[in-house]
Amino acid sequence: MKRFTLFTFLYLALGVCLTAIAFGYPNLPSGLQTSLFISAGVSYIACIFNPFWRERTIRFYRSRNSSVILSSLVIGLTIIGMIWEVLSQNWAMEAFLGAFSRLIIVLGFAENIVIIRQVNSEH
């Protein structure tokens, strides 16, 4: 059996939070509510397939000497974009929820950094 990691449970928690938010605010614009449901669905899928993807990713990075620069750059740009969106819409609730739906990107690349560091420390 494949082993579950902290990220498996973080994907599950993110999916539950996004689903609860989407159901908890029925008067959200339909585009934002759809975005929350899609992000929650992607998070649930990532939770289910995380052990398999993790093993495949570890095998992929073992054959290369990889760096965490690209993953760190994507995380940084995503967070800056989220902050920019919230500030440009004057701290509106819709802006927070729109930014919150992009946390799946940050979580995915954070897991990638952990995997790369784990593989690089083995060498």
Locate 57 and state its tokens.
């990713």
Residue type at 26 in one-letter notation: P
pLDDT digits (tens, 9 = 90+) for 44-83: 999 999 988 888 888 888 877 777 899 999 999 999 999 9
Q: In this model, does residue 27 exceed pLDDT 80?
A: yes
pLDDT tens-digit readout, 80-91 = 999 999 999 988
d(CA 111, CA 114): 5
Residue 33's pLDDT is: 93
Q: Is the pLDDT of residue 5 over 80?
A: yes
Q: What is the pLDDT of residue 10?
A: 95
CA 121, CA 123: separation in Å to the nearest integer? 5
| % pLDDT > 90, the chain | 60
* Span 101-105, average pLDDT: 93
At residue 1, the pLDDT reads: 44
pTM above 0.75, yes or no: yes
Residues 6+ apart with CB under 8 A from 104: 11, 14, 39, 42, 43, 46
C-alpha dihedral sign at 20, 46, 100, 41: negative
Q: What is the pLDDT of residue 2?
A: 59
